[in-house]
Chains A and B, each alone.
Chain A
Amino acid sequence: MMLALEIGWGTTLAIKTLVVLTIIPLGALILGYTFLLKMMSHMQSRLGPMDPGGFHGWFQLVGDGLKFLQKEDIMPAQADRKVFAMAPAVVVLSTFLIFAVIPMGPDLVVENLDVGIFYALAVSSLSVVGVLMAGWSSANKFALLSALRSAAQLIAYELPLLLATVGVIIQAGTLNLQEIVLAQQNGAIFGWSGIGDPFILTQFVGFTLFLVAAQAELSQTPFDMPVAESELVSGYMVEYTGFRFLFFFIGEFGTAFAFAAIAATLFLGGWSIPGVTGDMANILGPFVLFAKLMAVAFLMFWVRFTYPRLREDQLQSLAWKVLIPIGLINILITGILKVAI
């Protein structure tokens, strides 16, 4: 708090913007490199890129990014030019906005909103607008099909995602992400407060639901029907080249990074680590959050690289017939226990 008081609000805003602007591409790079390039390769019994940058090909994605910047920006002749150009920006924007509310330490949060989780989920669904715009304006039938699938998927999956978080909100008694973390840090398991009370223990059903729904939200396998490279040849991105494609790529992995961060905050205790408080927590916080986030992301990508893809109608029936009822029952039980205990 001391730090924030000494510098003016303009500087603070600039620092905050800079932090968010660097975190997203950096997060996308880290996730892309660790999971897409390295973990997936090793799961498929290969090595992935090894040469760029010397050590295990760490430079590969940076190089890819530089390459995308040099590429020609192609726009289909029939495309709706303005919408086509705006779509990737909308997708990336939604990713940037999520990060505004994720706490990385007791004082390290860009904007400590009282309706934090509500805001994060609302903003995250903005990206589908971008996807719809991209699919429609590309003047491509594959892109159109993909955009429609994406919209249908969002409607089916926003609800389980929300219901999964409601359990946590009931237990913590707040929508503020910072306070949710504090509730976990100061909680106790049957009177033992050694590690606090990470909500994954009490809300395991909610955690599973959240991961499944997030998987659909991010359109990752087994719910990657909008991208579906074996049928729709990567769907709404099919006409994009160069830096516009790069935006989609950053959006994809940045959002995965953001959702992993939200899951880590909601269910794994966020930046908190047992026995560390005060300024130390401000320093260690980001690293702790990062470690927890990577664990969640590992789960999400592990599933992504193992499973086949469902069909759109199967996804709808899974969402409406299985996940939403489970989510409701979870809320019911949580509510009863909250009142009873």
Chain B
Amino acid sequence: MAKPKIPGLLVGLGITFKTMLKPAVTVQYPHEKEIPAPRARGVIALKEENCTVCMLCARQCPDWCIYIEGHKEKRPPRREGGRERSVSVLDRFDIDYSLCMYCGICVEVCPFDALFWSPEYEYSENRIGELLHDKQKLGEWMATVPPREPLEIGAEPGKAAKK
């Protein structure tokens, strides 16, 4: 109570009246949009060519919402006369966003930088089954992944922000 002389009832009326005169803070969603922070965990994007089907993400996921299938393929050797290379090819990479907890463990454990966070958030669906994003749809999210942002003063030098 800054001014003990004025009764609290009147001070309260003053506060609501002043707020009425100020512009509202509402963001009118479909017409105008807030820009989420670059780090915001909106949706997971997949860079398919980096994935080696190591299954680390699927195993580390706390609620097992990542489904991966793959097979081995023989590729011609890099150098003349070398051995044939054996490469893992991704057949299926699905993330079920109706189960996902957005914890980010999969992005973090990925050793080959195949998964990224994108702050995109507008992918709600009318049917729950459509929240299962396949590898093509996950790949499309790659376009929305923001560049790595600089870190605050005092951060360990030479280390860029992790994805």
Contacts and interface: CB of A to CB of B under 8 A. Distances in A.
Q: CB atoms of A and B under 8 A apart anywhere in the complex? A: yes
A44 interface: yes
B20 A39 contact: yes
A306 B24 contact: no
A46 B28 contact: no
A44 B22 CA distance: 10
Contacts of A46: 24-26
Given A43-B19, A44-B19, A45-B19, A303 B13 contact: yes
Nearest to A299: B13
B24 A45 contact: yes
A188 interface: no
A43 B16 contact: yes
Contacts of A42: 19-20, 24
Interface residues of A, number: 14
Interface string B17-45: 10110101110100000000000000000
B12 interface: yes
B134 to A, nearest CB: 35
B153 interface: no
Given A47-B28, A50-B28, A306 B22 contact: no
Interface in A1-53: 39, 41-47, 50
A176 B22 CA distance: 43
A307 B15 CA distance: 11
A68 interface: no
A307 B17 contact: no
Nearest to A41: B24
Residue of B19, B24, B25, B28 with most partner-chain A CB within 10 A? B24
Q: Is the interface of A mostly helix, strand, loop or mixed?
A: helix
Interface string A287-308: 0000000000000001101110
**Residue of A39, A43, A47, A302 with most chain B CB atoms under a 10 A cut-off:** A43
B26 A47 contact: yes
Contacts of B128: none
Contacts of B28: 47, 50
A316 B10 CA distance: 22
A224 B9 CA distance: 17
A45 B15 CA distance: 11
Interface in A44-77: 44-47, 50
A45 to B, nearest CB: 5
B22 A45 contact: yes
B16 A305 contact: yes
Nearest to B8: A307
A50 B19 CA distance: 19
Contacts of B17: 43, 302
B71 to A, nearest CB: 51
B20 A307 contact: no
B26 to A, nearest CB: 4
Contacts of B26: 45-47
Q: Considering the complex of A and B, which 3 residue pairs feature the smallest CB-CB distances, nearest first?
A: A47-B26, A43-B16, A42-B20
27 contacts: A39-B20, A41-B24, A42-B19, A42-B20, A43-B16, A43-B17, A43-B19, A44-B19, A45-B19, A45-B22, A45-B25, A45-B26, A46-B24, A46-B25, A46-B26, A47-B24, A47-B26, A50-B28, A302-B13, A302-B16, A305-B16, A306-B12, A306-B13, A306-B15, A306-B16, A307-B9, A307-B12
